[in-house]
């Protein structure tokens, strides 16, 4: 088990302004993704998306409980304990549209013993009907692109318009499949809340599969434009499943003073939480670790993807699937560059960082040559999208940035030399005496 610090909490990392601009708080995102616990580790990002006020944050707080109580049977908590974490009550207080990430990663082990960092992300849409469709589409797009597991939270039933939301992604997915032969998205889990037809179709993943199969069937009198989604959804996403969740009870939905305690929640709902959540966080699920272009990525790489996608969305218009594909290829190169640069910095820091003693310039140069060579090699070998021409540009950037870093290390090293000399009073005095 691992501890979260007492200050851990939700952090708004993406904000959407009233004129529909996406603003990424790079500093805050970096603090999370570069958290010491996540350093160098592969990551899993589990997100929840869907309409406003449908119990998303409430659900996420149970995810939090599960992750915090890792390996304990009684993870679900005590009967009279208020439910805390992501802010779920809506109602009072203003909500800022955007994306909210838990400030600290959780550590889990893969079946082979390797540790990975698990991150949780909440999304927040708007009330305002003018901007709802537009902004929610943005949030949904970014969520799907950066997450390994996306929970798509919907009320009552899986409807045509839920599939409609996915048509853009199916189109993008088909392009990506053609270009790179891997599906761009990992797991999409439809989470149907307040399922009312338990007598026909049972709660849980089994019932969900029935509903999903039924909705994805192509029939003669359906919307023609949804055909692509229907026929390709299971290809574009590596895993699509669906879970039917019962109503949590009237105390949850009607009582103003309800604080999330288990004793006020219907038994069926709690039973289904126990079945849904451990399944979502199974580390032997092949889609649990975030992959891009068939490669499992680290938090450093995810940071670059976030940045690039937010830049693509910054214009305030949803990009075309083709533009999305180009952005992904660019982000892919940027991420490979970031990893190579990180490798260079880490190796150099070890030998000539701030706390290391002065070394002879020839030795420093030999060190740089070797680490530089390895770093460039790392970039060349990384699987990259977008072809040779695109990666050449990024290789050039990498070479320039490493050269600049080297020049800084040299200066720093020289300064240590002077420092060492002037701080040696005995030498100084003996010179004077002579
Ligand atoms: P969000 O905007 O989707 O994040 O919704 P919240 O998590 O803030 O919850 C909004 C309201 O829905 C709260 O009053 C919750 O008590 C209530 N709620 C939570 N879970 C459910 C559910 O499964 N069904 C219904 N009908 N309401 C729920
Ligand atoms: Mg919420």
- Give the mean model confidence (pLDDT) for residues 83-110: 81
Question: What is the Å distance from ligand 2's center to 31 Cα?
Answer: 22
Nearest protein Cα to ligand 1, atom 21: 55
Which DSSP category does 264 fall into?
A: G
Q: How confident is the model at residue 92 (pLDDT cuts 50, 70, 90)?
A: very low
**Of all residues in the chain, what percent carry a pLDDT higher than 90?**
47
So what's the pLDDT on residue 132?
A: 59
- 44-75: per-residue pLDDT in tens? 999 999 888 889 999 999 999 999 987 778 89
Nearest protein Cα to ligand 1, atom 16: 252
Contact residues for 146 (Cβ-Cβ < 8 A; gap 6+): 45, 47, 290, 302, 305, 306, 309
> At CB < 8 A and 24+ separation, what contacts does 195-200 make?
195/156, 195/157, 195/244, 195/245, 195/246, 195/247, 196/156, 196/247, 198/244, 198/246
Between vectors from CA 280 to CA 182 and to CA 242, what angle results, nearest 5°?
A: 75
Say if CB 249 and CB 298 are below 8 A apart.
no
Does 175 have pLDDT greater than 90?
Answer: no
ipTM of the assembly? 0.99
Considering only 109-113, 125-129, 408-412, which range has the smallest mean pLDDT?
A: 125-129
For tokens 């103003």, name the residue. 256
So what's the pLDDT on residue 133?
A: 65
Considering only 198-212, 384-398, 412-426, which range has the smallest mean pLDDT?
A: 412-426
So what's the pLDDT on residue 314?
A: 75
Residues with CB under 6 A from ligand 1: 52-58, 88-90, 193-194, 247-248, 252-253
How many angstroms separate the CA atoms of 310 and 334, rounded? 14
Does 332 have pLDDT greater than 90?
Answer: no
Does 416 have pLDDT greater than 90?
Answer: no
Question: What is the Å distance from ligand 1's center to 93 Cα?
Answer: 15
So what's the pLDDT on residue 424?
A: 47
Which DSSP category does 203 fall into?
A: S
- Give the mean model confidence (pLDDT) for residues 113-120: 95
Question: What is the Å distance from ligand 2's center to 41 Cα?
Answer: 28
Between vectors from CA 405 to CA 383 and to CA 146, what angle results, nearest 5°?
A: 35
Considering only 23-27, 172-176, 334-338, 381-385, which range has the smallest mean pLDDT?
A: 172-176
State the burial class of residue 163 (Cβ atoms within 10 Å of its Cβ: 0-12, 13-18, 19+).
buried
- Give the mean model confidence (pLDDT) for residues 334-341: 90
Pocket test for ligand 1, best of 10, 86, 88, 266 (most atoms within 8 A of CB): 88
Which helix (H) or strand (E) segment holds residue 312: the answer is: helix 299-313
Question: What is the Å distance from ligand 2's center to 87 Cα?
Answer: 6
pTM over 0.90: no
Mean of pLDDT over the chain: 86
Bridge partners of 373, per DSSP, are none
Q: How confident is the model at residue 134 (pLDDT cuts 50, 70, 90)?
A: low
Q: Which ligand number lies closest to the CA of residue 126?
A: 1
Does 346 have pLDDT greater than 70?
Answer: yes
Question: What is the Å distance from ligand 1's center to 290 Cα?
Answer: 28
b/e map 122-147, b = 16+ CB within 10 Å: bbbbbeeeebeeebbebbbbbbbbbb
């Amino acid at each position: 088990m691992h501890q979260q610090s007492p200050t851990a909490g939700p952090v708004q990392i993406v904000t959407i302004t009233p004129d529909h601009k996406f603003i990424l708080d790079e500093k805050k995102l970096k603090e999370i993704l570069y958290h010491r616990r996540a350093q160098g580790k592969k990551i899993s990002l589990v997100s929840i998306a869907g309409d406003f006020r449908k119990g998303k944050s409430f659900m996420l707080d149970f995810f939090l409980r599960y992750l915090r109580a890792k390996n304990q049977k009684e993870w679900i908590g005590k009967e009279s304990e208020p439910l805390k974490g992501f802010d779920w009550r809506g109602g009072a207080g203003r909500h800022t549209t955007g994306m909210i990430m838990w400030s600290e990663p959780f550590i889990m082990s893969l079946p082979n013993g390797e540790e990975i960092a698990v991150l949780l992300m909440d999304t927040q849409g708007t009330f305002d009907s003018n901007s709802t469709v537009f902004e929610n589409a943005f949030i949904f797009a970014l969520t799907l692109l950066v997450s390994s597991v996306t929970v798509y939270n919907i009320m009552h039933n899986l409807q045509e318009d839920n599939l409609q939301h996915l048509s853009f992604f199916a189109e993008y997915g088909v392009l990506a499949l053609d270009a790179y032969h891997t599906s761009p998205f990992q797991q999409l889990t439809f989470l149907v809340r307040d399922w009312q037809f338990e007598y026909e179709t049972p709660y849980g993943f089994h019932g969900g599969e029935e509903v999903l199969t039924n909705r994805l069937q192509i029939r003669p009198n359906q919307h023609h434009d949804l055909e692509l989604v229907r026929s390709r959804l299971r290809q574009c996403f590596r895993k699509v499943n669906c879970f039917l969740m019962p109503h949590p009870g009237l105390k949850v939905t009607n009582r103003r003073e309800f604080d999330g305690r288990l004793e006020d929640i219907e038994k069926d709902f709690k039973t289904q939480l126990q079945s849904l959540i451990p399944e979502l966080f199974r580390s032997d699920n092949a889609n649990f670790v975030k992959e891009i272009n068939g490669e499992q990525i680290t938090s450093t790489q995810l940071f670059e993807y976030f940045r690039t996608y937010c830049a693509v969305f910054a214009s305030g218009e949803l990009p075309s699937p083709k533009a999305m594909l180009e952005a992904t290829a660019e982000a892919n190169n940027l991420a490979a560059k970031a990893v190579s640069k990180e490798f260079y910095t880490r190796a150099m820091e070890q030998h000539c960082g701030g706390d290391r003693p002065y070394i002879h310039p020839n030795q420093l140069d030999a060190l740089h040559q070797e680490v530089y060579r390895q770093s460039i090699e790392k970039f060349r070998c990384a699987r990259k999208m977008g072809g040779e021409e695109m990666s050449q540009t990024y290789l050039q950037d990498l070479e320039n940035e490493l050269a600049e870093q080297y020049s800084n290390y040299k200066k720093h090293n020289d300064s240590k030399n002077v420092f060492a000399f002037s701080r040696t009073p005995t030498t100084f005095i003996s010179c004077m005496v002579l």
